[in-house]
Amino acid sequence: MRYFYHIKCESNFNYKNTMDEFMKLAISEARKGLNEGGIPIGSVLVKDGKLVAQGHNKRVQENNPILHGEMDCLNNAGRIGSYKNTVIYSTLMPCYMCAGTIVQFKIPKVIVGESKTFSGAREFMEQHGVEVIDLDLDECKKMMENFINEKPKLWDEDIMEL
């Protein structure tokens, strides 16, 4: 099933603390993961303003350490050819693995829900010309804070702080 939402692109649009339909969808993916007993991180891929795929972290559900939200989303998208004019959304700042994939695939833009609970690889992506927008959303921060408080060991495993 495909959705046809359009991204707001007014030139002086203030992204901070606001979100569009794609970020809402990424958050709903994160909540799906949480309900499955997994890590609440969701991701959405958009091309030419249209939804391509969505996904969420499935490390616990599929016993797969590389199935982060962004990786699951890109996996669900399949082969889409060029990643020009794509935007990847994530409820949390991408880690180095996901950031490496974003750089490798030449995805030009990343919009994240927050980077307070995990600072990720923002500088790495920016050094490679990726535009990174951090919406700093309370909803995303609370979701991660609650999860980290409830399952600290599971989170430490995800970020390799073992």
* CA–CA separation, 81 and 107 (whole Å): 12
* CA–CA separation, 114 and 135 (whole Å): 6
Contact positions with Zn ion (CB under 5 A) in 85-144:
95, 97-98
Name the token pair of 20.
């569009």
Asked about 70 being catalytic, the answer comes back as yes
* CA–CA separation, 80 and 113 (whole Å): 25
Per-residue contact flags (x/-) with Zn ion for residues 27 to 66, judged by CB under 5 A: ----------------------------------------
End-to-end CA distance of the chain: 39
33 SS3 class:
helix
- Pick between residue 46 and residue 98 the one whose CB is nearest to Zn ion: 98
State in angstroms the smallest separation of the CB of 127 from Zn ion.
17
Q: Which of 21, 36, 62, 70 is catalytic?
A: 70
Query: Minimal CA–CA distance to 68: which of 107, 47, 109, 96?
Result: 96
Segment lying near Zn ion (by CB under 5 A), choices 10-18, 68-76, 84-92, 131-139: 68-76
State in angstroms the smallest separation of the CB of 27 from Zn ion.
17
Name the token pair of 67.
């199935």
State in angstroms the smallest separation of the CB of 13 from Zn ion.
27
Give the binding site for Zn ion (CB under 5 A): 68, 95, 97-98
